């Protein structure tokens, strides 16, 4: 399984591709909606891409709990282990 930093970096690439946010802004403490300006529709795209990239499943009702980048990274780490 990838390291925490590898997951964060992979997620940053996804967010950059989908929402145009610079990858270096996608840090663990950043909130998707408040800091990175990613709305719920873009989150759907981010989640689908992350599922494919990391080989995990992220259920719809789990997505609303992923407030920060760190929350998403932690979920992917747990799901992949």
Partner 1 sequence: MTAQIRGPVGSTQAGILGVGAYRPVRVVSNDEICERIDSSDEWIRTRTGITSRRFAGEEETVVSMSVAASEKALAQAGITPDQVGCILVATVTHLYQTPSAAAEVAHKIGATPAAAFDISAACAGFCYGLALASDMVRGGSSRYVLVVGVERLSDITDAFDRSTAFIFADGAGAALVGPSDTPGIGPVVWGSDGSQLDLIRQEESWEDAFRREDGPSWPHLRMEGNPVFRWASYEMAKVAQQALDAAGVTAEDLDVFVPHQANMRITDAMARAMGLPETVAVARDIAEQGNTSAASVPLALERMLEAGQAKSGDLALFIGFGAGLVYAAQVARVP
Question: What is the spatial distance between Cα 33 and Cα 20, in angstroms, rounded to a whole number?
Answer: 14
Q: Candidates 34, 39, 67, 80: give the one binding partner 1 (CB under 8 A).
A: 39
Does the footprint of partner 1 cover residue 59 (CB under 8 A)?
A: no
Specify the residue, 7 or 58, whose C-beta has the smaller distance to partner 1: 58
- Read out DSSP for 24-36? GG--TT-BTTTTT
Size of the site for partner 1 (CB under 8 A): 7
Radius of gyration in angstroms for the set of CA atoms belonging to the chain, rounded to a whole number: 11
Only segment of 4-12, 19-27, 44-52, 65-73 that touches partner 1 (CB under 8 A): 44-52
Does the footprint of partner 1 cover residue 1 (CB under 8 A)?
A: no
Our CA dihedral for 12, 16, 22, 23, rounded to 10 degrees, sits at 20
Does the footprint of partner 1 cover residue 48 (CB under 8 A)?
A: yes
Both tokens assigned to 14 = 């996804």
Binding site for partner 1 (CB under 8 A): 39-41, 44-45, 48, 60
């Amino acid at each position: 399984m990838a390291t925490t930093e590898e997951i964060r970096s992979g997620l940053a690439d996804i967010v950059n591709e989908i929402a145009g946010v610079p990858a270096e802004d996608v840090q663990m403490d950043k909130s998707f909606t408040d800091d990175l300006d990613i709305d719920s529709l873009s989150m759907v795209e981010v989640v689908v891409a992350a599922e494919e990239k990391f080989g995990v499943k992220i259920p719809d009702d789990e997505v609303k709990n992923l407030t920060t980048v760190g929350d998403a990274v932690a979920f992917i780490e747990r799901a992949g282990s």
